[in-house]
Structure 1
Amino acid sequence: MKTSEDLKQILERIDHRGYPAYKDTRGVYQFGTYILGIDHVQGDPFAAPSRLHIQVAGRAVRIPKELYDSKHKKTAVADYLLRNFAKQLERHSFQAHGSGKSGIIQVTRCGQEVLERTACEIDEKTGDVTVRFEVGFPARGRTIQAGELVKILYQYLPACVEKALYYKNMDRNAVKQAAELSVDQEYIREQLKKEGLVAFVADGSILPRESGVSQRPMKDAVPFASPDSMRITMKLPYKGMLTGMGIRKGVTLIVGGGYHGKSTLLKALESGVYPHVAGDGREYVVTDDTAMKIRAEDGRSIRHTDISMFINDLPNGKDTYAFDTEDASGSTSQAANVIESMESGTQVFLIDEDTSATNFMVRDELMQQVIHRDMEPITPFIERVRELYQEYGISTVLVAGSSGSYFQIADQIVQMDKYVPKEITEFAKKAAADYPVLKFPEEKPKEPSYDRKVRRNPGIRQKGRVKLKTMGRDAIMIGHETIDLRYVEQLVDSEQLNTLGQIVRFLEEEIFDGKKTLGQAVEQAEKLLDKRGPAGMCEGNIVPGNLARPRIQEIYACMNRYRKLGTDRKERG
């Protein structure tokens, strides 16, 4: 391994030369108690910044082992270190001068959720801490300004490492609280299973967000307060006694007038599949981590999916046992979303009436009389929702603002009144008794089939490489193919999409063989993620610093929206 002096000599040699000479700096260098790696050098000062990493030896970091001796604690402490490192870098970014992106120093910008990321990792065996970040190598025009880079590498970065990554200089109480909060959050998640709950919303939580473009808590928002009939108490390992609303398994209906907080509560439950940082307002809002938001998604592609539980006997004779389309309707897309989520292991459906296909969700008594069941290919969700719970153990939390049909089949009904929840199950059931009873199909559907075999798409690699590009949280481009993920609403970070792109490449090149089902292929990827984290999906030895782990539900969602997915399936019968 080279030393920091070796790097300085290289910089002195290439000073004032053309920008491509910066590529001579690539390599790994020993800087006292840490290693600096220059992994990728940008092509010119206006291109994406160069990618670097720092690995600090555990004996220098000295974070107590008990703060990262479990997966959730390790993720939480790494998240804290990353945010701390980002604060330090901000003070020095663009302090070195030059053209284009010269002098920029940046690292992943974390949101309110705590995610497993490659930007900061802790080795559970050695205690080593690795951070991955970007630096704009300075230039005047396209002429190297090595002296400015020396400032960054030999003055600014050592100061940031010293302040952000050495335990002796950290706010030790804050690090400890981050680890303890993760333990409390994991405890609540385990209690959900033991208590027969699908979600918990702590009293005092702040659910509304600052704005449509900010996920920070809204100032002066109404704190959440559980209805007495749904209030439960938990004794957390560190926080102690905590009360809040427990949503039990089954069918839960959330109703109320417009702007009273129905969708805000559902959004909090959607986000509750992830842990949140202290001060977010939702740090004690915890949802079953398999929960999936289900919605209509006009125009999406569907690949040989068995939607026969909901749709049969289409007028065009199309097979719904292995339904295939490039342009799904609202109802067929929502039916496919339900079945695909079942395949991914989802135990809770989260549904908002506003983003659903009406004809998929309900058919009232009058419509049933006018349009006979034999003339309607769609079996609405309302006629399957209880069966989904009783036969498959899948609960549903549904926001409804206009249709009262679900009153008859709901287990519990919550009314949001000026952001305050009230349980009105008994009152609503009495009101519903005056209306005609819904008629349900007599015959139960067959269990959905998930036997889709996946085969390789040979065109994914061009000119020796796979081109991956992420468009925020909206889409992934693989070569010329775009995977639209706008409506996979529980993706909270663009870095999750970066990882999904790597997963698609990995599955295409390493797993798909025409023999495995999609489920078997995804499970294989999930095992590797468990073992090696998001880095396990990458080719080569250099780990990108912009990956965050998605859930298995989002992996399925991504693959099911991949129009180049090669699937084979036997026809029914």
Structure 2
Amino acid sequence: MQSSNDLQQLLHSIDHKSYPAYKSLKGTYRFPAYTLSIDHVQGDPFASPSHISVQVPLKRAGFPQFCLKSALIRVTLSDYLTRQFAAQVARFSFRAKGSGKSGLISVSQCGPEVLARTACQIDNDPQNGLITARFFVGFPANGRSINAKELEKILFDFLPVCVEKTFYYRNLNAAEVKQTIDLCEDQDTIRKEMEKRKLVAFVADGAILPRESGVSSRPMKNAKAFTSPESLRVTVELPHKGTITGMGIPEGITLIVGGGYHGKSTLLNALDMGVYNHVAGDGREYVLTDATALKLRSEDGRFIKDVDISMFINDLPNGKDTRCFSTEDASGSTSQAAGIIEGMESGSCVFLLDEDTSATNFMVRDAFMQRLIAPDKEPITPFLERACDLYAQAGISTVLVAGSSGAFFHIADTVIQMDSYVPVDITEKAKALCNEFPIPETSVRPFAMPESHRIMTTDPKAVGKKRDYRTGAVRGEESLKVKLQGKDGFSLGKQTVDLRYIEQLIDCEQTASLGLLLKYAVEKLADSKKTLPEIVQFIETQLEEKGLYAFMEGKYISGGYAIPRVQEIYSCFNRYRRA
């Protein structure tokens, strides 16, 4: 390891040279209060910025033990420090001048959800623990010539101030740090109480559920605070906030109904996001859902391969085997059936559905349609007739927003009416009305757990060839490249993975991680005769033991990644058309 003085001398020696000379800076340097690592140097001033990391010894950082005592708390502290570092860095970004991305200093931008990110990680080794921060810097240039004095300004003037004010406990707001950790512990207590009390979700009294707009995650100003119906109100004693009350949604089948614009989808959206912890001030800090909950919807045109959808669809006119069903262009009903089976494979204990984004013929068949179309002519067993079995035999609860069909009242254990954003428990009223509006009994196939058939394979057409640029001769297969397309998808080699309809995927850094994991699976695990669940289970184990470093192929870890849930890993892998 070299010293910071060595780095200064190197900078002076390459000043005004051609931009590629910056690559000589790659390495690790010891500064008085931390270690700086230049992990990757951009090729030119207009390319993606260089990757930098800083390591601060935990002993020197001075954080008290209550900030470090569990993995969950360390993730929460890391999230807090990332936000603080981003605020500090924003004061200095582009203050160093030059062409292209010269002077850019960039740190992960966090939303209201708390995610485990590579931007900041805390290793709680009692002797050698480190806080590692990863970020990006645009190395300055004049045209394509190195401007070393401007980079020296970034590394020796700006960065030490940002590190000192962010990663040393003595320089932080101690009360704010404690409130952040206290909130995390309170949220964890609620999740444990939910499990004990057999609740799938908890919505605190006073929560603000509406968002500022459809494209904003900020709470709506002057929105009506949530108030639980008395019959569903539960009380929880929290270690820091004390007594808290709110609506507990029990296991089983819960129906959310009400007129248009009365808050049905707003409540469901809050439950969607309740799989993540939220930061203070979001309004949904105490809105928590079972961490495995999965939002499902129809997805016309999606790719399906070797999925057992026979629980819902059988006897297709074209003779396709629905016990191992594949299609390049799924219908609304087959896509939603596949989504449910894939959710079962991923270990989800709660399904969240909105009638508005579901395939109507998949969800329910009314009495008129049943009389008109003979059962042997209808290949679809609607979700209405499977929901009870999913809970009774597979332990999977359902929370469903319904606005058009009364048939769901007959299977619901709990019915919540949203009335001007106020929830009302109308379960008894709904059950009484069910007697006045009976639905015909139907015979359905016996419930059977689906079997997984999908084996991940590679397609030679999806992988490029390495060629000698002089002779044109093929020199083997080229490594697949991941190209991120924002939050909603990425390309892997020549194939695009469309993730637009994965509604609980909320950050482009999660998408970047999914690209990394899929690349690893296709290159290292495909053609191994493992089923897709076996591959995902292996990846999940590696993530728990080693984090994303297990998939970096021995390279440095970059900032710009966030750990996705296993549900999103399944959703991604199942949409890769060439697996």
TM-score range, shorter chain: over 0.9
1:47 maps to amino acid: A
Residue equivalent to 2:109: 109
Find 2:430's aligned residue among 421, 428, 431: 428
Counterparts of 1:456 and 1:517, CA distance in 2? 13
CA contact (8 A) 2:463 2:494 kept: no
1:485 aligns to 2:499 (yes or no):
yes
1:25 aligns to 2:39 (yes or no):
no
Residue equivalent to 1:233: 235
Find 2:513's aligned residue among 473, 489, 499: 499
1:192 aligns to 2:194 (yes or no):
yes
Counterparts of 1:185 and 1:440, CA distance in 2? 43
Counterparts of 1:451 and 1:234, CA distance in 2? 44
Residue equivalent to 1:68: 68
CA contact (8 A) 1:308 1:320 kept: yes
Mapping 1:193-232, distance limit 5 Å: 193-232=195-234
Residue equivalent to 2:475: none
Mapping 1:351-500, distance limit 5 Å: 351-457=353-459, 459-460=462-463, 462-463=465-466, 464-500=478-514
Q: Residue 317 of structure 2 aligns to a residue in which SS?
A: coil
Unaligned runs of 5+ in 1: 566-573
Residue equivalent to 2:321: 319
Shift of 1:456: 4.2
CA contact (8 A) 1:408 1:429 kept: yes
Residue equivalent to 1:570: none
CA contact (8 A) 1:40 1:51 kept: yes
Residue equivalent to 2:348: 346
1:192 maps to amino acid: M
Counterparts of 1:278 and 1:304, CA distance in 2? 44
Shift of 1:322: 0.3
CA contact (8 A) 1:456 1:514 kept: no
Counterparts of 1:19 and 1:544, CA distance in 2? 22
Residue equivalent to 1:134: 136
2:35 maps to amino acid: I
Residue equivalent to 2:540: 526
1:31 maps to amino acid: F
Find 1:173's aligned residue among 175, 194, 198: 175
Q: Does 532-541 or 23-32 show the bigger shift?
A: 532-541
Q: Residue 121 of structure 2 aligns to a residue in which SS?
A: strand
> Over residues 392-425 of structure 1, what are the superposed CA-to-partner deviations in whole Å (9 max), with x where a residue is unaligned?
1100000011111101111111011111100111
Shift of 1:237: 1.5
1:297 aligns to 2:299 (yes or no):
yes
CA contact (8 A) 1:383 1:441 kept: no
Shift of 1:330: 0.2
Counterparts of 1:62 and 1:510, CA distance in 2? 41
CA contact (8 A) 2:85 2:162 kept: yes
Counterparts of 1:510 and 1:101, CA distance in 2? 35
Residue equivalent to 1:48: 48
Shift of 1:457: 4.5
Q: Does 74-83 or 18-27 show the bigger shift?
A: 18-27
Shift of 1:193: 1.1
Counterparts of 1:194 and 1:371, CA distance in 2? 45
Q: Residue 496 of structure 2 aligns to a residue in which SS?
A: strand
> Over residues 44-84 of structure 1, what are the superposed CA-to-partner deviations in whole Å (9 max), with x where a residue is unaligned?
11111111000111221111122111111010000011100
Shift of 1:139: 1.1
Query: CA distance change for structure 1 residues 337 and 423 in 2, over 3 Å: closer, same or farther?
Result: same
Counterparts of 2:238 and 2:335, CA distance in 1? 41
Shift of 1:452: 2.8
Residue equivalent to 2:523: 509
1:218 maps to amino acid: M
Mapping 1:234-249, distance limit 5 Å: 234-249=236-251
Shift of 1:157: 0.2
Shift of 1:460: 4.1
Q: Does 182-191 or 446-455 show the bigger shift?
A: 446-455
CA contact (8 A) 1:535 1:544 kept: no
CA contact (8 A) 2:489 2:499 kept: yes
Q: Residue 10 of structure 2 aligns to a residue in which SS?
A: helix
Query: CA distance change for structure 1 residues 238 and 57 in 2, over 3 Å: closer, same or farther?
Result: same
Identity of aligned residues (%): 56
CA contact (8 A) 2:307 2:453 kept: no
Residue equivalent to 2:470: none
2:539 maps to amino acid: A
Shift of 1:107: 0.4
> Over residues 156-202 of structure 1, what are the superposed CA-to-partner deviations in whole Å (9 max), with x where a residue is unaligned?
00000010111110111111221121111111111111101000000
> Over residues 355-414 of structure 1, what are the superposed CA-to-partner deviations in whole Å (9 max), with x where a residue is unaligned?
000000000011100011111000100010111111111000000111111011111110
Residue equivalent to 2:333: 331
Q: Residue 39 of structure 2 aligns to a residue in which SS?
A: strand
Shift of 1:461: 6.4
Q: Residue 547 of structure 1 aligns to a residue in which SS?
A: coil
Counterparts of 2:279 and 2:525, CA distance in 1? 36
2:522 maps to amino acid: E
> Over residues 309-342 of structure 1, what are the superposed CA-to-partner deviations in whole Å (9 max), with x where a residue is unaligned?
0000001111100000000000000000001100
Residue equivalent to 1:569: none
RMSD: 1.2
CA contact (8 A) 2:456 2:522 kept: no
Q: Residue 52 of structure 1 aligns to a residue in which SS?
A: strand
Structure 1 length-normalised TM: 0.97
CA contact (8 A) 1:232 1:246 kept: yes
Find 2:563's aligned residue among 549, 552, 563: 549
1:9 aligns to 2:29 (yes or no):
no
Counterparts of 1:481 and 1:106, CA distance in 2? 29
CA contact (8 A) 1:365 1:436 kept: no
1:375 maps to amino acid: K
Counterparts of 1:32 and 1:54, CA distance in 2? 12
Unaligned runs of 5+ in 2: 467-477
CA contact (8 A) 1:226 1:421 kept: yes
Counterparts of 2:48 and 2:555, CA distance in 1? 20
CA contact (8 A) 2:231 2:425 kept: yes
Counterparts of 2:465 and 2:542, CA distance in 1? 26
Q: Residue 321 of structure 1 aligns to a residue in which SS?
A: helix
CA contact (8 A) 1:460 1:478 kept: no
CA contact (8 A) 1:353 1:399 kept: yes
Counterparts of 1:469 and 1:241, CA distance in 2? 48
Shift of 1:14: 1.0
Shift of 1:511: 2.6
Q: Residue 313 of structure 2 aligns to a residue in which SS?
A: coil
CA contact (8 A) 1:92 1:105 kept: yes
Q: Residue 323 of structure 2 aligns to a residue in which SS?
A: coil
Q: Residue 515 of structure 2 aligns to a residue in which SS?
A: helix
Counterparts of 1:127 and 1:181, CA distance in 2? 24
Q: Residue 536 of structure 2 aligns to a residue in which SS?
A: helix
Q: Residue 455 of structure 1 aligns to a residue in which SS?
A: coil
2:34 maps to amino acid: Y
Q: Residue 520 of structure 2 aligns to a residue in which SS?
A: helix
Residue equivalent to 2:473: none
Residue equivalent to 2:469: none
Q: Residue 499 of structure 1 aligns to a residue in which SS?
A: helix
Shift of 1:462: 4.9
CA contact (8 A) 2:106 2:135 kept: yes
CA contact (8 A) 1:116 1:549 kept: yes
Shift of 1:510: 2.6
